[in-house]
Amino acid sequence: MTPGPREQLLDKAITHFAREGVRDTSLRGLAPHLGTSQRMLSYHFGSREGLLTAVIDKVVADTTSALRTLFDEHADPFEAGRENWRRAADGARLFGALFFELSSHAMYGKDYARDLGQTVVTRTEEAFAEAYRSRTDEATARVLARLTLAVGNGLLFSTLIDADRAASDAAVEEFITLVRARVESSARQ
């Protein structure tokens, strides 16, 4: 199944948005970089907002499927967390700024960005909570899940600003150590 022209354009558009931002990229300015015309972007996506919606839908779909395989492959929530961080940080240089830019659109209440918010917070948090449940009680699992997601997003944020990946890696390890001790102590009770 070879992707149609629409899917090819969408992939290229995401790459370009990741580099240049959504903020000051117009359909006119975007088209030449994708080897197409403004008319074709309008034709395939209906409108500028239609293109943004398609971009977010694809990002959401990719994130969701990646998350599913992640927790299928790692029964240990700490291993899953470490692996999730590694993937996010590796991709950050490419897609990190776009991630936070589109998320800010969700915060402003833009319709086309609502699914993104649901995916990057609610669903991811739920996946972490599910993994923690095997190690601790329900209430602790929920609060640790929220904290874990926050650590991931917060370190992604810091890394994108100051480019200090090593410091963020160290912080992840520190956090894993902290939580592991916490879960072991609650299991001993």
Provide the binding-site residues for DNA, judged by CB under 7 A: 4-6, 26-29, 36-40, 42-44, 47-49
Which of 36, 53 has the CB closer to its own copies? 53
- CA angle, 98 then 12 then 56, to 5°: 45
- Distance from chain centroid for Cα 64: 9
Q: Which DSSP letter does residue 163 get?
A: -
Judged by the rule CB under 8 A, the positions of this chain that interact with its own copies are 20-23, 96-97, 100-101, 103-108, 117, 120-122, 125, 142-144, 146-147, 149-155, 157-158, 160-162, 167-168, 170-171, 174-175, 178-179, 181-182
Which of 43, 76 has the CB closer to DNA? 43
CB of 7 vs its own copies, minimal distance in Å: 26
Which of 26, 189 has the CB closer to DNA? 26
Q: What's at 124, amino acid-wise?
A: T
Q: Cα dist. 8→11, 12, 60, 155 in Å?
A: 5, 6, 17, 32
Cα–Cα dist 65/80, whole Å? 14
Which of 26, 69 has the CB closer to DNA? 26
